[in-house]
Amino acid sequence: MHASPGAKRTEARGIHGTALKVRLRARPVEGAANAALLDFLAAELQVPRSRCVLVSGDASREKLVRVGQPPRDRTEGLLRAWAQGPTSS
């Protein structure tokens, strides 16, 4: 994942290189952006927040996240939609 903190709102915004780009409203202060990223993924994938773990990239824009047991149909649909990018500005 490619995280962009300090955005107007938290949202997935397509592909950045080979990673999903996620804009985060939170600032990169004291882990707030990392927490916002995990909260966003948990909410969108409809899994408990405890199943979302930041594996690497704590202080980087490039992050590796593990989500335990997400619902397959929902995850595939979201990834397809996110990869296509925003439908409006």
pLDDT > 90? residue 74: yes
pLDDT band at 89 (very low <50, low <70, confident <90, very high): very low
In a domain, 82, yes or no: no
In a domain, 17, yes or no: yes
Structure confidence at residue 11 (pLDDT): 96
Output the CA torsion sign for 34, 39, 40, 41. Answer: positive
Domain count, the chain: 1
In a domain, 83, yes or no: no
Q: Identify the CATH number of the domain in which residue 49 sits.
A: 3.30.1200.10
* Residue 10: domain span: 2-69
The total number of residues shown for the chain amounts to 89
Residues 13, 84: contact at Cβ < 8 Å? no
Residues 30, 73: contact at Cβ < 8 Å? no
What is the value of pTM for the model shown? 0.91
* H or E segment and range at residue 5: strand 2-5
In a domain, 41, yes or no: yes
Which tokens hold the place of 81? 């939609």
